[in-house]
Amino acid sequence: MKIVRGSGSEMSDDDVQEALRSHYLAPASDDYWKNLEQRIVARLASAPASLQWWSHFPGWVRVGLAAAVAALMVAGFAAGQTRATMERMAVQQLLEASEDPVLSQALNDEPRSTRREETLRYLISR
């Protein structure tokens, strides 16, 4: 079928709207709505009472469990890697840290005081 524009057989937008409106117009009689309500109520009454929303997805149970296990494994791995990285950084800071300059300066300034007293002063000053 070939459509040729301007052939005169095209409908205007108003004609199309009118045709669709008459086609999709709700029925004027009240019988349609009463019949629809009766069909819905009958369908609900015939459904088993034990039917729950999750009973519609029995095939998804295995997939859902597998996805949950995978998510837990990824989260556990990420938590373990984060903890290992934090521990590695803490050890690295301890190994690379030199003696605190404030503490060493305090020890050099007052030769009469003991190292323990200077450590106490340093800790209290923070």
pLDDT band at 70 (very low <50, low <70, confident <90, very high): very high
pLDDT exceeds cutoff 90 at 66: yes
The reported pLDDT for the residue numbered 68 is 95
The reported pLDDT for the residue numbered 112 is 59
Question: DSSP code of 112?
Answer: T
Q: With a threshold of 0.75, does the pTM exceed it? A: no
Question: 115, 107 in Cβ contact below 8 A?
Answer: yes
Question: 118, 107 in Cβ contact below 8 A?
Answer: yes
The reported pLDDT for the residue numbered 1 is 42
Question: 103, 122 in Cβ contact below 8 A?
Answer: yes
Mean pLDDT of the chain: 78
How far, in Å, CA of 119 to CA of 125, rounded? 10
Q: What is the pLDDT of residues 85-111, one digit of tens each?
A: 998 888 888 777 655 555 555 555 555
What residue spans define the domains of the chain? 13-45+62-125
Question: 81, 73 in Cβ contact below 8 A?
Answer: no
